[in-house]
């Protein structure tokens, strides 16, 4: 029964003046289960519906919300909050979205969600593939095809230009920009792919066009990235310094400078700039800067500091985004356990 009723349950619970814990106690279930219903992550078991209807004084039919909007919200929550999407949930989401493709108003949103749904599934498969490959290498460490499988599962780097170049994406965004010349975000994607492929002369032309329609810190940021790719690091560093001098209150300029320093392994500077950007960022704050800093501490072998930052992330999700459970929280809890294992292993060695 693929119908989302979380909002209705929350509304009826609040009307009765009950907490999630009180409702859970009356139904003999966990409060986490009630929270998942109300956040549209899962649905009540069909056997619970009669008890719910009695508690709230409504018919079972009144518990259901049949609007397309609630279906789409539930699918978003499935994608964003579940680490592993069950077959039933995946089939429900896919079938609903495909059915709605004939709705002109919802077609673009449904296609986008279908893309995200299948990317989620591919990420699930890559995670499994990585585990299988690592287990295989523990048994047979010299098998090239298994190393290749691990690389592909983890989306690792590959030297072979035939497989690593991005000419198809570059061509797509060149055509996209011709059709949508005022959409400045598309210039960023094109610049990223051009610079990654070393096509600096083309990147400079695109950067000038971007600066005409959207002047700002991106001009110094990408100008520096082009210089770095061309081998002129002093000029790149000068442009990135100029970026934060010109836009000192632009939090993302500082974070971007942190990214540049991290990629140069200038970690202390990177931490400084990430921290500055994070402090300038308005609430609700994004987690990216804290994640980056935790990565740096892990690279440096400072597992305690890395764990400290991840705990900050969990608090940020709770306080700024009101996220207290689901995969966004579970992921970082798994990261803490992984780091503790690495810390213990190092201590033993």
**If DSSP states are collapsed to H, E and C, what string results for 29-40?**
CCHHHHHHHHCC
Mean pLDDT of 189-198: 98
In the predicted model, is pLDDT for residue 266 greater than 90? yes
Residue 120: pLDDT over 90? yes
Percent of residues, the chain, with pLDDT higher than 70? 97
The verdict on 260 and 344 lying in the same domain is yes
165 belongs to a structural domain: no
Q: Identify whether 167 is part of a domain.
A: no
User: pLDDT tier at 50 (50, 70, 90 boundaries)?
Assistant: confident
CB 173 within 8 A of CB 182: no
Other beta carbons less than 10 A from residue 320's beta carbon:
13
Same domain, 198 and 330: yes
- Lowest average pLDDT, out of 16-20, 252-256, 292-296, goes to 16-20
Per-residue pLDDT tens over the stretch 151-170: 999 999 999 999 999 999 99
pLDDT number for residue 4: 57
Domain shared by 308 and 224, yes or no:
yes
Q: If DSSP states are collapsed to H, E and C, what string results for 144-176?
A: HHHHHHHHHHCCCCCCCHHHHCCHHHHHHHHHH
What is d(CA 161, CA 172) in angstroms, rounded to the nearest whole number?
19
Q: Are 270 and 292 in contact (CB under 8 A)?
A: yes
Give the pLDDT confidence score for residue 48 in this predicted structure: 85
Check which CATH number belongs to the domain holding 16 and give it: 1.10.260.40
Task: Give the C-alpha separation, 116 to 112, whole Å.
Answer: 6
Same domain membership, residue 179 and residue 125: no
Whether pLDDT at 225 is above 90: yes
Is the previous residue joined to 284 through a cis bond, with omega within 30 degrees of 0?
A: yes
Cβ-in-10-Å burial (0-12, 13-18, 19+) of 41 comes to buried
Mean pLDDT, range 240-267, rounded to an integer: 98
Whether residue 268 is predicted with pLDDT greater than 90 in this model: the reply is yes
pLDDT top residue among 145 and 13: 145
Structural domain includes residue 195? yes
Q: Exposed (0-12), middle (13-18) or buried (19+): which is 212, by Cβ within 10 Å?
A: exposed
Structure token digits, residue 130: 């990585």
**Cα–Cα dist 64/74, whole Å:** 13
User: What pTM was computed for the model?
Assistant: 0.79
Distance CA 177, CA 186 (A): 7
**Is residue 339 domain-shared with residue 244, that is, in the same domain?**
yes
Q: Is the pLDDT of residue 1 over 90?
A: no
In angstroms, rounded to a whole number, what is the distance separating the alpha carbons of residues 7 and 86? 22
* In the predicted structure, residue 312 carries a pLDDT above the cut 80: yes
pLDDT at 65 over 70: no
Predicted confidence at residue 313, as pLDDT, reads: 98
Mark whether 250 and 342 lie in a shared domain: yes
Distant-in-sequence contacts of 40-47, Cβ < 8 A, 24+ apart: 40/4, 40/6, 40/7, 40/70, 40/73, 40/74, 40/77, 41/77, 41/78, 41/81, 41/82, 41/326, 43/1, 43/3, 43/4, 43/5, 43/6, 44/5, 44/9, 46/1
- 204 and 297 part of one domain: yes
- The CB density around residue 108, as the number of other CB atoms within 10 Å, is 10
**Domain interval for residue 325:** 173-348
Q: How many residues make up the chain in this entry?
A: 349
Residue 162 lies in a domain: no
Does 56 fall in a domain? yes
The Cα–Cα gap between 217 and 250 comes to 8
Q: Please compute the mean of the pLDDT values over residues 237-255 and round it to a whole number.
A: 98
Domain shared by 234 and 192, yes or no: yes
Flag whether 163 is in a domain: no
Count of domains for the chain: 3
- In this model, does residue 2 exceed pLDDT 50? no
Check whether residue 193 and residue 297 sit in a common domain: yes
């Amino acid at each position: 029964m693929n119908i989302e009723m979380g909002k209705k349950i929350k509304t009826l619970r609040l009307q009765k003046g009950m907490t999630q814990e009180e409702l859970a106690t009356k139904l003999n279930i966990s409060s986490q289960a009630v929270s998942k219903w109300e956040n549209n992550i899962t649905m009540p078991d069909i056997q619970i519906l009669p008890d719910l209807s009695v508690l709230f004084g409504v018919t079972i039919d009144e518990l259901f919300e049949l609007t397309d909007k609630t279906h789409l919200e539930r699918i978003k929550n499935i994608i964003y909050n579940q680490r592993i999407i069950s077959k039933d949930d995946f089939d429900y989401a896919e079938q609903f979205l495909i059915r709605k493709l004939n709705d002109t108003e919802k077609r673009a949103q449904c296609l986008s969600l279908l893309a995200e749904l299948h990317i989620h599934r591919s990420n699930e498969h890559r995670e499994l593939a990585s585990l299988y490959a690592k287990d295989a290498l523990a048994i047979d460490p010299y098998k090239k095809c298994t190393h290749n499988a691990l690389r592909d599962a983890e989306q690792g780097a590959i030297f072979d230009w035939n497989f690593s170049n991005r000419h198809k994406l570059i061509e797509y965004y060149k055509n996209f920009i011709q059709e949508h010349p005022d959409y400045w975000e598309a210039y960023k994607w094109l610049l990223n792919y051009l610079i990654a492929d070393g096509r600096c002369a083309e990147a400079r032309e695109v950067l000038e066009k971007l600066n005409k329609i959207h002047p700002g810190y991106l001009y110094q940021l990408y100008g520096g990235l082009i210089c770095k790719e061309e081998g002129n690091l002093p000029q790149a560093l000068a442009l990135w310094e100029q970026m934060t001098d010109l836009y000192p209150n632009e939090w993302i300029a500082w974070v971007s400078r942190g990214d540049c320093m991290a990629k140069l392994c200038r970690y202390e500077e990177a931490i400084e700039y990430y921290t500055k950007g994070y402090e300038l960022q308005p609430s609700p704050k994004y987690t990216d800067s804290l994640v980056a800093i935790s990565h740096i501490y892990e690279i440096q072998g400072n597992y305690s500091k890395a764990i400290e930052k991840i705990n900050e992330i969990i608090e940020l999700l709770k306080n700024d985004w009101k996220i207290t459970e689901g995969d966004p929280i579970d992921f970082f809890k798994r990261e803490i356990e992984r780091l503790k294992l690495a810390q213990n292993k190092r201590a033993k060695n």
